[in-house]
Amino acid sequence: MQVRRVVTGENADGKAVFVEDAVLDGKAPALLGGTVFHQIWGSDGRVSLPSDGTEPAWTSFFPPADGFRFLIWSASPESSTLPEDLDVAAAVNELQEALPGLADFNEPDDPGMHTTPTVDLDLVLEGEIWLELDDGEEVLLGPGDCVIQNGTRHAWHNRSSGPATMLSVLVGADRR
């Protein structure tokens, strides 16, 4: 899937202008078995306007309390398998370099389960995906279905034979 990003800003005269029109490359670390992430925009802090359209600074996959992330991701089917000759140590390094911080909140004893200090606004664009919460409670989601994920413990499962593509906006929050 190609993701096109068009960015606007204001010039020195205060006029709205297009400052970027580009296709973004997806990131598909080997350790994620075909899952692809297109990180579209983000900020580690509150954004000030007007803006010239320069991309704000952001450092890790999940935002801090005043930050946000905007991404499209495609989950590969769970039936996808990793290559038998996969160098796991190299794959972990690749994941950390491509998507820093993504694995930091995952539970080692329950792969895929994670809890982040974010409010996630998710929209299924294509395919179907299961959202699992504590105690194994699940809901099946399809195109057009939305989830407001309020920092709860969860996992995503694609049990279909094709990809499931989602648009997600992650808004940083304070966890007490």
Q: Specify the pTM.
A: 0.91
Residue 44 belongs to what domain range?
3-172
Query: Residue 73: what pLDDT?
Result: 97
Query: Residue 176: what pLDDT?
Result: 85
pLDDT means per 10 residues in the chain (176 residues)? Answer: 96 97 95 92 95 94 96 91 82 91 90 94 98 96 98 96 96 93
Query: Residue 81: what pLDDT?
Result: 75
Query: Residue 41: what pLDDT?
Result: 98
Q: CA-to-CA distance for 148 and 150, rounded, in angstroms?
A: 6
The CATH number that applies at residue 163 is 2.60.120.10
Count of domains forming the chain: 1
